[in-house]
Amino acid sequence: MKRFDTIGQYGERTAIYADRAYSYDEMIEAADAIAREVGDRTLVFCLCANTKESIFGYVGFLRGRIVPLLLDAAIHSEQLQNLIDRYRPTHIWANREHNQLAQEMDTTYGYGDYALFECPHVIEHELHDELALLLTTSGSTGSPKLVRLSYDNLFHNAASIVSYLNINEDDRPITTLPMNYSYGLSIINSHLVSGATIVVTEASVMQKEFWQLCRNQHVTTFGGVPFVYEMLQRLKFETMELPSLTKLTQAGGKLNPDLASAFTGICERKGIQFFTMYGQTEATARMSYLPPDQNREKAGSIGIAIPGGELTLRKETGELITAPNVVGELVYQGANVSLGYAEALSDLASGDENEGVLYTGDLAYMDEDGYFFIVGRIKRMIKMHGNRISLDEVEDLLRAHGHECVCTGTDDELYVYTLHDDRAAIKQVIKDMMHTRGVTILQIDAIPRNESGKILYAALPKRELVTT
């Protein structure tokens, strides 16, 4: 399975459905041709969209032991240039009409809508032998801080996901997430190694074409971050006729409890398995999942560790927590834990700095049955007048009182953001329940999110409107 070296066994089975069906044999032929044009083991950038060209390039790079950095095709030109200057790729696999690249670089090869742009001033990269892939951290795609993933990371995690989701050749997922996002990429990896057929589209769940494609191509599964499920609720997903759909997956943040309960009920009525999952890019993708038969009894839980992984809790002192219902930092151990970070070209030669252990930065507890529940982020903690406050818990408190808010803050400064004209009511809840001062409540037009739907807390405004 390492480097997609066994997928040739699927031969004439359909690997990708895009403008038409492409067999595994066709995909491998195109993928290997792209890699041959790059040649030696080196660093390339892949500007990703949900297209056959992006996927074929990615598959070819891994098969050819070429290390790709996966970036959003819509990355801002200045951010892209900063990354090029810092990491000096030899080639960039991108849409042949990419304005910035087409003006500055020559192309050496083309396939479909994509071309291989040759970067000037090529250098010889020193790459660690196990380095397979680079992904951006969950923040800005223009950040120079990258996650270094090995071949073992990628394919151990894919095997675990195949195991607990019971993925097989008959599965037909449809793309709903960017492939440069670890969750979206994990769907591609786990289904390709299983001989499944991936229905590839750039249409969103808000477009009729997406649902028409689902029906025409007999889609069996798709995944989404919380924002996607909010959209599905608005679209009245429960009324849709999708007889082939058998599995839904959710990750990328905690689902609103009411929304989680609603989708549990919808999926039960429709005979669909609904998996909520937890992961981080630093662990390739997945670390835990909640079995669908526990969705009601263990509502709000991230579940149990994936096959081959282990979850534990640690006190601030590093001491292991074994008792139930005691909060500590969630620690994951497994073969999918990344090698470490890269912030400069020289870091690409570094070895395994994590040694299979990831301190997640999440605060959690374990119940009596061994199921884990996240209560907040260590970095999402502030002190208000000497008392530690979890920003996630403030959001949960306000949600419990009917207010959908997001919160940021620094010590002795708490900012609450709402989309509605309910600032007075929020102020009253905070006064009654938290007994704290120095809270600024702001009404905004929209909550800033990245391409995978995660809230961009750093992009929230700081202008004062109402202060309690």
Rounded Cα distance, 42 and 33, in Å: 16
Q: For residues 31 and 117, state if they share a domain.
A: yes
- 156-170, 224-238, 316-330, 387-401: which has the minimum mean pLDDT? 387-401
Residue-level pLDDT at 264: 98
- Ramachandran angles phi, psi of 313, nearest 5°: -125, 145
Q: For residues 116 and 253, state if they share a domain.
A: yes
Range 215-233 average pLDDT: 95
Q: For residues 361 and 388, state if they share a domain.
A: no
Q: What percent of the chain has pLDDT over 70?
A: 96
Q: What is the mean pLDDT of the chain?
A: 93
Q: Which domain holds residue 299?
A: 2-366
- The total of structural domains in the chain comes to 2
**For the segment 264-303, what is each residue's pLDDT rounded down to a tens digit?**
999 999 999 999 999 999 999 999 999 999 999 999 999 9
Rounded Cα distance, 330 and 347, in Å: 27
- Tell me if 372 is assigned to some domain: no
Q: For residues 323 and 427, state if they share a domain.
A: no
Q: For residues 255 and 188, state if they share a domain.
A: yes
Alpha-carbon distance values, 364 to 6, 180, 313, 453 (Å):
39, 28, 7, 23
**216 CB-near residues (< 8 Å, 6+ apart):** none
Q: For residues 403 and 336, state if they share a domain.
A: no
> Residue 93, class by beta-carbon neighbours within 10 Å (0-12 exposed, 13-18 middle, 19+ buried)?
buried
**For the segment 417-459, what is each residue's pLDDT rounded down to a tens digit?**
999 999 999 999 988 878 777 899 999 999 998 877 888 888 8
Rounded Cα distance, 147 and 153, in Å: 11
Given a cut of 60, is residue 141 above it in pLDDT? no
Residue-level pLDDT at 385: 67
Q: Global pTM?
A: 0.87
Rounded Cα distance, 388 and 222, in Å: 39
Q: For residues 91 and 156, state if they share a domain.
A: yes
Residue-level pLDDT at 27: 98
Q: For residues 273 and 412, state if they share a domain.
A: no
- Tell me if 277 is assigned to some domain: yes
**For the segment 79-132, what is each residue's pLDDT rounded down to a tens digit?**
899 999 999 999 999 999 999 999 999 999 999 999 999 999 889 999 999 999
CATH code of the domain in which 346 resides: 3.40.50.12780
- Tell me if 229 is assigned to some domain: yes
- Tell me if 174 is assigned to some domain: yes
- Tell me if 94 is assigned to some domain: yes
Contact 60, 31 (CB under 8 A): yes
Q: For residues 407 and 302, state if they share a domain.
A: no
- Tell me if 375 is assigned to some domain: no
CATH code of the domain in which 445 resides: 3.30.300.30
**For the segment 36-49, what is each residue's pLDDT rounded down to a tens digit?**
999 999 999 999 99
Rounded Cα distance, 205 and 235, in Å: 9
Which token pair is 108? Answer: 């050496």
Which token pair is 418? Answer: 């709402």
Q: For residues 362 and 387, state if they share a domain.
A: no
Q: For residues 402 and 352, state if they share a domain.
A: no
Neighbours of 348 (CB within 10 A): 19
Residue-level pLDDT at 467: 41
Residue-level pLDDT at 71: 95
Residue-level pLDDT at 138: 53
Which of 338, 366, 394 finishes a domain?
A: 366
Q: For residues 295 and 409, state if they share a domain.
A: no
Residue 374's nearest CA partner among 259, 251, 275 is 251
Residue 84's nearest CA partner among 42, 36, 38, 142 is 142
Which of 313, 341, 366 finishes a domain?
A: 366
**For the segment 18-67, what is each residue's pLDDT rounded down to a tens digit?**
999 999 999 999 999 999 999 999 999 999 999 999 999 999 999 999 99
- Tell me if 373 is assigned to some domain: no
- Tell me if 387 is assigned to some domain: yes
Residue 305's nearest CA partner among 345, 364, 384, 240 is 364
Which of 320, 343, 366 finishes a domain?
A: 366
Antiparallel, parallel or unpaired: β 357-366 and 340-342: unpaired
Rounded Cα distance, 172 and 100, in Å: 36
